Amino acid sequence: MEQILKYFQGLSEEQQRQLSMLNALYHEWNEKINVISRKDIDNLYEHHVLHSLSIGKAIHFRPGTSVLDFGTGGGFPGIPLAILFPETRFRLIDGTGKKIRVATEVANAIGLKNVEAVHLRGEEEKGKYDFVVSRAVMPLPDLMKIVRKNISKEQKNAMMNGIICLKGGNVESEIQPFRRTAEVTPISTWFEEEWFKEKYLIYVRV
């Protein structure tokens, strides 16, 4: 939790309360439904929460923005972002019902009002959103084919509507088809922890 406060100053008491509750909740739920690998659950704040919040360093969503979290798993990056941006509406979808149950229960337990978690495959999602966010779900070209239909034409933010995904390792081949519309930012630009080396935020305007 200290890592979050180091990089995100000015969080309200309510935001700090919600973030601090995540540790116990995810440990408890992970015992029942495995949404985070057993050996990684103790790194929850660095590897999952802070990683998710890197999107909040790249863009400050304006009030009224709508975001689709594609392949959310147990709620990443959607739940940490929903805490950070309480006036942004988040829809979390995943094809695995058990994972959506965890995301729903965690969101309810911490009192998030701006989140809905739905058991749904991306191909079935019909809504329009300002941004689609995703964390290492599938290769970018495959993701783009599925979610391009979900990007709204109406612009609300300084950053043009599009896809924001978090990736690790060599991303060159994935972004090749989107050279003209993609921006890649090393997450180590914002966070100094060793784990964030070779982790990237990819933004593709649509």
Cα separation of 71 and 100, whole Å?
Answer: 10
Give the amino acid at 116. Answer: E
pLDDT at 191 over 90: yes
Report residue 46 as tokens.
């660095």
Angle at 71 between CA 149 and CA 67, to 5 degrees: 55
The 10s digit of each residue's pLDDT in 64-91 is 999 999 999 999 999 999 999 999 999 9
Q: What is the pLDDT of residue 185?
A: 97
Q: Which pTM was predicted?
A: 0.97
Residue 165 binned pLDDT confidence (cut-offs 50, 70, 90) = very high
**Helix 97-109 and helix 13-32, axial crossing angle in degrees, nearest 10:** 150
Write down the pLDDT at residue 47. Answer: 97
Q: Which two tokens stand for residue 42?
A: 């103790």
